[in-house]
Amino acid sequence: MADKLIDLVNFLFSKNAGPYLITFDVLFKDDTSYERGRRSGVFTKERLAAIYNVQPARILSIYQYDAARAIKFTMIRDVSSGDFGDPTVFGSQQWPPLIEVEIP
């Protein structure tokens, strides 16, 4: 049975990691949810790139931090923070595409 990612997490957010990067933090509710997320295959460069409609090379890193039940990934921004066409100067509104992701 699959659940939506939003139902398995306590926090799901994004923020600037410098003018050219956005970092995403996914903090799971409990150990079982974290293990499901970790093993789901969702947190790969290819899958995250597909979710965000970018090339996989734009996903720079993916980290799993077991002690915090967290998965963190960093993506290169479309444009520099604050440049013309930047939809969110602080990178804080980039996490919503993750809400509907299904975790088996």
Q: Can you give the CATH number for the domain in which 13 is found? A: 3.30.70
pLDDT digits (tens, 9 = 90+) for 2-16: 999 999 999 999 999
pLDDT single digits (tens) 19-74: 999 999 999 999 999 999 999 999 999 999 999 999 999 999 999 999 999 999 99
pTM: 0.92
Q: Can you tell me the distance from the alpha carbon of 78 to that of 44, in angstroms, rounded to the nearest whole number?
A: 20
Tokens read off for 64:
């799993």
Name the residue range of residue 95's domain.
3-103
Report how far residue 31's alpha carbon sits from residue 66's, in angstroms, rounded to the nearest whole number: 9
Q: 10 Å Cβ neighbour count for 97? A: 12
Please give the tally of structural domains in the chain.
1
If residue 80 lies in a helix (H) or strand (E), which one and from where to where? none
